[in-house]
Amino acid sequence: MINSETFIVKRDGKKEAFSLDKIKNAISKAFLSVGSFATQDVITNILSRVSISDGTSVEDIQNQVEGALMAEHYYAVAKSFMLYRQKHLEDREVRDKLRFLLDYCDASNPATGSKYDANANVENKNVATLIGELPKPNFIRLNRRLLTDRLKDMYGKEVSDRYLELLNNHFIYKNDETSLANYCASITMYPWLIGGTMSVGGNSTAPTNLKSFCGGFINMVFIVSSMLSGACATPEFLMYMNYFVGKEYGEDYYLHPEKVVDLSSRQQTIDKVITDCFEQVVYSINQPTGARNFQAVFWNVAYYDKYYFNSLF
């Protein structure tokens, strides 16, 4: 039953007093768009199939109107009504994107400029960070659809609808809805040591010495991290780096770190070579990258010292 106290929910979540005239006008325009005219009786018959109560969404009302037109066999009118909705949807999305572009340019930093799930780890606002923001609404819709379909299959529509209600009203928070990539991962480096980056889409071969190990490792981490939205852990890094240092300077290299091993005018020691290699890896990985919307790679390594092992054994 429709009365003066009936409120509908608009697309932005705001409530508005229901207006029957708006639906009548929309139906009339749909008929006129196909060269026909909707009499009052025709409109009444269509509206008799539409159920509106307090809190009904605009989308639900329009879906019901489409269904009613089909049920009354006004197929051409229903098609025109659908196309009209789709055009307005596209116009709204373009308008919202243009407004977001202007607001983002005026924002003081990327966090305040972000409309969805601001990334606190991005310091600079530029084209790369802007490009990363644009698809977020689409990713959110896609991720929510994937999850609600799964919930519906497992627990029924009521649970799925309740999940969306709690999400939209901020009672719960779903982490990382704005990306299709996996979040964090801990990887083994062994396949890369054997075959290079070919297995993950790269073109570099397996490392053969300390320098190629460091350079190839950086490439490998960037490739893997471009497929993640969170951290990339390589627990074996120091263990394998130790192998290549030993291959280059002998397995007992740690016994004489001050030994000069560089024949150039710099006369570098083993300790300096290892330090330089480690700095190369750390400084290279901690650079912003376009594949992560100008966010640096989150990189984790693990190390165990003598005192730690003594405490265990």
pLDDT at position 4, please?
53
Q: What secondary structure letter does DSSP report for 297? A: P
Residue ranges per domain, the chain?
7-87, 107-168, 185-312
136-155 helix and 157-168 helix, angle to the nearest 10 degrees: 150
Residues 6 or more apart whose Cβ sits within 8 Å of residue 141: none
| Mean pLDDT of the chain, nearest integer | 90
Q: Are 217 and 206 in contact (CB under 8 A)?
A: no
Mean pLDDT of 238-260: 95
Mean pLDDT of 206-232: 93
Tens digit of each residue's pLDDT (9 = 90 or more) over 143-185: 999 999 999 999 999 999 999 989 988 899 888 888 888 889 9
What tokens does 223 get? Answer: 């490739």
pLDDT at position 1, please?
44
Q: Are 2 and 52 in contact (CB under 8 A)?
A: yes
pLDDT at position 169, please?
86
What tokens does 131 get? Answer: 């490009």
Q: What are phi and psi of 233, to 5 degrees?
A: -100, 135
Euclidean distance between the first and final Cα of the chain, in Å? 76
131 or 1, which is more confident: 131
* The model's pTM: 0.72
pLDDT at residue 133 is higher than 50? yes
Tens digit of each residue's pLDDT (9 = 90 or more) over 64-122: 999 999 999 999 999 999 999 999 989 998 999 999 999 999 998 888 888 888 776 77
Cα 188 versus chain centre, distance: 25
